[in-house]
């Protein structure tokens, strides 16, 4: 085992639960309309992430990620913990069926436990020529097709909590505690794409450069995030 943890530095779902658990967030909760990156708890969370990489040397740095992605390192047994959604289990099972692993929810920080719920929306056009077939497909991917075929969690709670999903061959033991119960936590957020400005905010015209500076250890989190909300809020208010 070479590395401790991988947190998807480039993906909002990678760091947002950590920010939420610390009491911060990238954008205001729950409306997601104003920047919250300069909140002291957001800064503290980002500093924690930076320290995991560059002070404690437990988390994978961008340089290490460049050599081989964290998700592959986990499947290879080079990484102890990998943050991720349920669909990662199918990928890992496929890459290394013999890997003995389990899933767990993220630990709590001062604000409590937090997680991110990815929501997948399915739709078909009212003018579709095959509405019945389309509805049948949507039903299927939301229920028994969700887990084995899509790597997702069934949309219907009773089905997600049933043995059809939880006891499916290849699923880790603690699916319920890791992926289903966190959906009820007050701090759990989702979906991540909270606005049509999302791509711009996360990119170089938003807070992307500040996140880069933190992940590459170019400056402390407080310095990197100073003034970033003015830029983000300007985008949101345009």
Interface contacts to another protein, rule CB under 8 A: 9-12, 62-67, 69, 196-197, 199-200, 202-205, 208-209, 211-212, 215-216, 235, 238
Nearer to another protein, 148 or 190 (CB): 190
Nearer to another protein, 143 or 192 (CB): 192
At closest approach, how far in Å is the CB of 208 from another protein? 5
For residue 58, the minimal CB distance to another protein (Å) is 17
Instruction: For another protein, give the closer residue by CB, 23 or 70.
Output: 70
Closest CA to 116 of 193, 61, 176: 193
Pick 78 or 181: Cβ nearer another protein: 78
Distance CA 71, CA 53 (A): 16
- Which residue's CB is nearer to another protein, number 55 or number 133? 55
Q: How far is the CB of 196 from another protein (least distance, A)?
A: 4
SS3 179: helix
Q: Long-range CB contacts (< 8 A, 24+ apart) of 184-187?
A: 185/112, 185/113, 185/114, 185/115, 186/112, 187/20, 187/21, 187/111, 187/112, 187/113, 187/114, 187/115
The least distance separating another protein from the CB of residue 197, rounded to whole angstroms, comes to 5
Cα-Cα end-to-end distance for the chain? 48
Structure tokens at 90: 């199918």
Burial 66-101 (b: 16+ CB within 10 A, else e): eeeebbbbbbeeebebbbbebebbbebbeeeeeeeb
Residue 60 vs 146, nearer CB to another protein: 60
Distances (CA, A) of 114 to 85, 141, 160, 196, 214: 14, 27, 20, 24, 22
Distances (CA, A) of 82 to 54, 74, 75, 189, 190: 18, 7, 10, 19, 20
**Residue 20 Cβ, how far from another protein at the closest point, in Å?**
19
Q: How far is the CB of 51 from another protein (least distance, A)?
A: 17
């Amino acid at each position: 085992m070479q590395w401790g943890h991988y947190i998807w530095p480039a993906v909002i779902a990678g760091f947002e639960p950590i920010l939420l658990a610390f009491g911060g967030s990238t954008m205001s909760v729950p409306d997601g309309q104003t920047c919250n990156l300069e909140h002291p708890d957001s800064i503290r969370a980002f500093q924690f992430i930076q320290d995991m990489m560059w002070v404690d040397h437990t988390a994978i740095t961008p340089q290490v990620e460049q050599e081989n992605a964290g998700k592959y390192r986990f499947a290879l047994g080079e990484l102890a913990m990998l943050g991720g959604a349920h669909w990662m289990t199918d990928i890992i099972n496929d890459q290394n069926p013999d890997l003995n692993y389990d899933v767990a929810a993220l630990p709590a920080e001062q604000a409590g436990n937090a997680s991110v719920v990815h929501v997948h929306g399915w739709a078909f056009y009212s003018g579709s020529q095959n509405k019945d077939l389309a509805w049948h497909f949507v039903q299927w991917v939301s229920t028994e097709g969700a887990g084995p075929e899509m790597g997702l969690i069934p949309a219907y709670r009773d089905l997600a909590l049933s043995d059809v999903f939880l006891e499916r061959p290849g699923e880790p033991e603690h699916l319920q505690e890791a992926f289903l119960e966190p959906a009820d936590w007050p701090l759990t957020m989702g979906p991540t794409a909270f606005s049509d400005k999302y791509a711009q905010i996360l990119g170089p015209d938003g807070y992307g450069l500040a996140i880069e500076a933190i992940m590459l250890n170019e400056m402390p989190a407080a310095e990197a995030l100073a003034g970033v909300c003015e830029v983000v809020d300007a985008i949101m208010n345009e």
